[in-house]
Amino acid sequence: MAEEELKKATFAGGCFWCMVSPFDEEPGIHSVISGYTGGHTRNPTYREVCSETTGHLEAVQITYNPAVFPYEKLVELFWQQIDPTDPGGQFHDRGESYTTAIFYHDEEQKHIAELSKKRLEESGKFKEPIATKIREASVFYPAEEYHQDYHKKNPFHYKMYRKGSGREGFIKREWGVQK
């Protein structure tokens, strides 16, 4: 496949460990990288991002083939991984670095993300307002190697974390989705 046929999508959904596995085995997904974006510090470390001084959010950057897995489906899958009404983080992870956002890479992605958020707001699914921000993509810094594919390297700890954080129960309860 020619490189120009692939696109990037960037989502912040709280802990990036939990945002890789829902995407990485879908058809048309070429890679899912954990990292940091949206802040002001160059080449931040995990420790710096967790200190809440960099402005960065934990995020995943997905390289995908839109002809196989369109951006609309990526956005839909993203919503099903988060509590979009929580402005203070996700589940037991609190602070700006764990807040949610869709980072658009072009005007088409911006339009799709805004329309999807509006539909979710109007659906009445949640009583609270949708807190997830739609932001322009900026420099994405890959996280340290030990964070990449964490669900594969540490499957037991990953499953326990996902359940213990409250994410797994919320997704089942609110979205009716199991992964």
pLDDT digits (tens, 9 = 90+) for 95-121: 999 999 999 999 999 999 999 999 999
pLDDT digits (tens, 9 = 90+) for 53-85: 999 999 999 999 999 999 999 999 999 999 999
**Pick among 3.40.50.10540, 3.40.50.10090, 3.30.365.10, 3.30.1060.10: CATH of 3-175:** 3.30.1060.10
- What is the DSSP secondary structure assignment for residue 148, as one 8-state letter? T
Please give the Cα distance from 143 to 16 (Å, whole number). Answer: 9
pLDDT at position 157 is: 94
Active site residues: 15
Query: Where exactly are the structural domains of the chain?
Result: 3-175
